[in-house]
């Protein structure tokens, strides 16, 4: 097991290589806290999250929201950890709504109750996404590391609908639950979800550590996609407006995803302790990212090294540099390139043109033989293993 925070020294320069044109940060993700009552082994939070405990205050967050709106951000997601842990969540939602954001709460539902749902509605929250681990109570609770999680999620999903919210249900799928995709969809129909994200696990943070235990086989994946397509047809014919979104894992692709719609183009994440990132996983990269306690979002977005370095194409190596698909996929995911090859400038190994694509092929092969090792759960004790401090 290799910890990213014990990882490689920075090989990156310390000043921007270029200042290519870029848009505005349309999507602001406020990771309010790394605290979470659950312990999902596929969490994308940094493995060394226990090192970062000094959370932004209410006023510091509101300042971030104000600066984000001035830069043109229109959508604000509250996530974590579990954002419900923050006692000022209602106040933050109200501040964001007053500034004109479309607001979205991304929650496990654990810690939610009918009073909070009503309070958030009063504060102007637009939209709630509740995540489940499985359609089966035993599997759900095994993955969440909590005996009560499933019943609580069911109750809260019903409450969210009862109070008139549009609701997204999110299921991260992997080898332990993907064969129950039909039951997952049936559960979503029963709970009257408006949107369902059937998102095959992507391997970042804790999920990367647990990849061998999580990665489905190609046959599992193809079956799940086929069943989802059949349900789409069946539900549409029955007049059910539910939308099923099936997200395939890039480990089974031959071309990489255009991660984040391009580095520093649309997304801006702020971590619980104020670090500003172009994507939620970038904290692992061996490079400097600015903190909102020290810099304005304007400076961070437009002038900082962390946001400028992977904009445009000048940073690219071959085969990306001369590739005629680079404007579509930007060389893939910088975090994935770093995790797998140790250099974030490399082509994402998902790409079949990458000299490191054999790593992906090997992961596919390993998926055919389930790992006997137990999960490394995402919790504070396990996080300490990866911490520097």
Q: How would you class 308 by CB atoms within 10 Å of its CB: exposed for 0-12, middle for 13-18, buried for 19 or more?
A: buried
Which tokens in the block code for residue 217? 């086989």
Inter-axis angle of helices 181-190 and 218-237, nearest 10:
30
Stretch that binds ligand FES, among 10-18, 30-38, 228-236, 328-336 (CB under 6 A): 328-336
Among 169, 251, 207, CA closest to 40:
207
Nearer CB in complex with ligand FES: 22/63 = 22
Strands ordered across the beta sheet of 267-270: 243-247, 195-200, 167-173, 127-132, 102-107, 75-79, 27-31, 267-270, 276-277
The mark string for 187-206 relative to ligand FES (x by CB under 6 A, - otherwise) is --------------------
Chosen residue from 281, 308, 354, 379 binding ligand FES by CB under 6 A: 281
Q: How far is the CB of 247 from ligand FES (least distance, A)?
A: 14
Q: Least distance to ligand FES from the beta carbon of 279, Å?
A: 3
What token pair was written down for 364?
């596919």
Of the pair 92, 259, the CB lying nearest ligand FES is at: 259
Of 89 and 260, the one with the shorter C-beta distance to ligand FES is 260
- The footprint of ligand FES on residues 240-279 (CB under 6 A) is 259-260, 279
The minimum distance between CB 281 and ligand FES, in angstroms, equals 4
Return phi, psi of residue 162, to 5°: -60, -30
Interface pick for ligand FES out of 282, 297, 360, 367 (rule CB under 6 A)? 282
Residues 59-78 that bind ligand FES (CB under 6 A): none
Considering CB under 6 A, how many residues would be counted as binding ligand FES? 8
Using CB under 6 A, which of 89, 128, 276, 333 touches ligand FES?
Answer: 333
Q: Which two tokens stand for residue 109?
A: 């539902």
Round to whole Å and give the CA distance between 213 and 385: 20
Smallest gap from Cβ 257 to ligand FES, in A, equals 8
Is there binding between residue 334 and ligand FES (CB under 6 A)? yes
Question: What would you measure as the largest C-alpha separation in the chain, in angstroms?
Answer: 58
In 3D space, the residue among 184, 191, 125 whose CA is nearest the CA of residue 156 turns out to be 191
Shortest Å distance, C-beta 371 to ligand FES: 24
Q: Is 12 in the site for ligand FES (CB under 6 A)?
A: no
Site string for ligand FES, 284-303 (x = CB under 6 A): --------------------
Residue 36 assigned to a binding site: yes
Rounded to a whole number of angstroms, the minimum distance from the CB of residue 82 to ligand FES is: 21
Least Å distance, CB 335 to ligand FES, is: 3
Q: Binding site for [4Fe-4S] cluster: residue ranges?
A: 36, 40, 43
Q: Binding site: residue ranges?
A: 36, 40, 43
Binding site for ligand FES (CB under 6 A): 259-260, 279, 281-282, 333-335
């Amino acid at each position: 097991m290799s910890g990213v925070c014990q990882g490689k020294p920075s090989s990156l320069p310390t000043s921007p290589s270029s200042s290519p044109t870029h848009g505005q940060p349309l999507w602001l993700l406020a990771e309010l806290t790394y605290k979470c009552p659950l312990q999902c082994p596929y969490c994308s939070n940094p493995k060394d999250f226990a090192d970062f405990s000094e959370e932004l205050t209410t006023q510091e967050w509101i300042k971030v929201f104000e600066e984000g709106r001035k830069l043109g951000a229109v959508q604000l997601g509250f996530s974590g950890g579990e954002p419900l842990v923050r006692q000022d969540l209602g106040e933050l939602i109200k501040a964001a709504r007053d500034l004109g954001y479309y607001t979205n709460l991304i929650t496990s539902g654990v810690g939610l109750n009918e009073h909070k749902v009503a309070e958030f509605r009063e504060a102007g929250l637009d939209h709630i996404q509740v995540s489940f681990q499985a359609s089966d109570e035993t599997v759900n609770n095994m993955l969440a590391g909590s005996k009560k999680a499933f019943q609580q999620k069911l109750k809260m999903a019903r409450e969210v609908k009862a109070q008139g919210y549009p609701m997204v249900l999110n299921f991260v799928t992997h080898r332990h639950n993907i064969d129950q995709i039909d039951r997952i969809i049936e559960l979503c129909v029963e709970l009257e979800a408006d949107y369902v994200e059937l998102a095959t696990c992507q391997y970042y943070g804790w999920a990367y550590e647990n990849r061998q235990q999580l990665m489905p086989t190609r046959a599992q994946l193809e079956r799940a996609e086929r069943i989802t397509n059949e349900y789409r047809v069946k539900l549409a014919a029955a007049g059910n407006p539910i939308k099923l979104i099936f997200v395939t894992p890039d480990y089974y692709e031959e071309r990489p995803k255009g991660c984040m719609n391009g580095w520093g183009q649309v997304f801006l994440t702020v971590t619980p302790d104020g670090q500003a990132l172009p994507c939620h996983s970038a904290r692992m990269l061996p490079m400097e990212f600015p903190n909102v306690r020290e810099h304005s979002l304007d400076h961070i977005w437009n002038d900082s090294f962390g946001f400028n370095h992977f904009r445009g194409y000048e940073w690219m190596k071959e085969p990306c540099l001369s590739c005629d698909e680079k404007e579509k996929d930007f060389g893939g995911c910088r975090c994935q390139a770093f995790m797998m090859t140790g250099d974030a400038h490399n082509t994402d190994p998902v790409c079949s043109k990458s000299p490191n694509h054999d790593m992906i092929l090997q992961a596919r092969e390993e998926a055919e033989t389930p790992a006997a090792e137990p999960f490394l759960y995402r919790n504070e004790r396990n996080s300490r293993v990866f911490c520097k401090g």
